[in-house]
Amino acid sequence: MSKLLALFFCVLFSTSPLFAQEEAIFVSEAKETKEHPRLNVGDKASSFRIKDVRGNNVSLVKILKKNKLLLVFLRHAWCPVCNYRTHELLENYTNLKKHGYEVVVVYESNAANLLPYVKDLNLPYPIISDPEGKLYQTYKVEYSLAKAQASRTNKKMLAHYQKGNKLFGGKKYKKEKKEERSTIIPADFIICKAKKIEIAHYGEYIGDHLSVKNLLEQTISTSHGGAEHKVKTNVRF
3-class DSSP state for residue 81? Answer: helix
Residue 13 lies in a domain: yes
Identify the helix (H) or strand (E) that includes residue 199. strand 197-202
Establish if 221 belongs to a structural domain. Answer: no
How many domains in the chain? 1
Q: How would residue 13 be classed by pLDDT, with cut points 50, 70 and 90?
A: very low
Residue 68 has pLDDT above 90, yes or no: yes
224 part of a folded domain: no
The whole-number pLDDT of residue 177 equals 86
Residue 122 within a domain: yes
117-125 LR contacts (CB < 8 Å, sep 24+): 117/77, 117/78, 117/173, 118/53, 118/54, 118/77, 120/171, 121/86, 121/87, 121/90, 123/86, 123/90, 124/90, 124/93, 125/89, 125/93
pLDDT value, residue 1: 54
Q: Which residue has the higher pLDDT, 64 or 229?
A: 64
| CA nearest neighbour of 201 among 140, 131, 126, 125 | 140
What average pLDDT score do residues 198-210 get? 96
Q: Considering the domain boundaries, does residue 131 fall inside one?
A: yes
Q: Is residue 44 part of a domain?
A: yes
Lowest mean pLDDT among 103-112, 149-158, 217-226: 217-226
Classify residue 215: in a domain, yes or no: no
* Max mean pLDDT range (156-160, 173-177, 224-228): 156-160
Looking at every residue in the chain, the average pLDDT score rounds to 84
Segment among 28-37, 158-167, 179-188 with least mean pLDDT: 28-37
Strand partners, 143: 184
Say whether pLDDT at 124 is over 60: yes
Residue 47: give the domain boundaries: 2-210
Backbone φ, ψ for residue 71 (5° rounding): -100, 120
Q: What is the CATH number of the domain that holds 80?
A: 3.40.30.10
For residues 112 and 127, the answer to whether their CB atoms sit within 8 Å is no
Q: What is the arrangement of strands in the sheet containing 197-202, beginning at the earlier edge strand? A: 127-129, 101-107, 68-73, 187-191, 197-202
* Predicted pLDDT of residue 232: 53
In a domain, 31, yes or no: yes
pLDDT band at 44 (very low <50, low <70, confident <90, very high): very high
